[in-house]
Amino acid sequence: MNDAVWTRPEPQSPCVKICVIHPQSRLCTGCKRTIDEIAAWGRMDAAARQAVLDDLPNRVVATRRGGRAGRLRD
């Protein structure tokens, strides 16, 4: 199978398959996109995708507090 068929000449999704939306910021803790950006990603043009990607380093996402990591801090 030729993988070139499945690639686009535009910015690809920043998804890292850690899909947890923080309830207050409404940002994904994995890729830092908003719920709306994630939902609209497939309909965005290349310029809109690139604008989201360019803004991601400026976003602060709260980390999850539960699980083993939360217990180790206490």
pLDDT per residue over 19-41, tens digit each?
A: 889 888 889 999 999 999 999 99
d(CA 53, CA 63): 20
Residue 62 structure tokens: 């709260």
Place of tokens 């043009």: 45
Angstrom distances, CA of residue 21 to CA of 4, 7, 14: 32, 27, 15
C-alpha torsion angle, residues 61, 64, 70, 74 (rounded to 10): 40
Q: What is the share, in percent, of the chain residues with pLDDT greater than 70?
A: 73
Host domain of residue 39: 15-60
User: Does residue 1 sit within a domain?
Assistant: no
At residue 67, the pLDDT reads 57
Position 20 in a domain = yes
- Asked if residue 22 is part of any domain, the answer here is yes
Question: 55: which residues sit within 8 A by CB, 6+ positions away?
Answer: none
| pTM across the whole model | 0.70
Q: Is residue 72 in some structural domain?
A: no
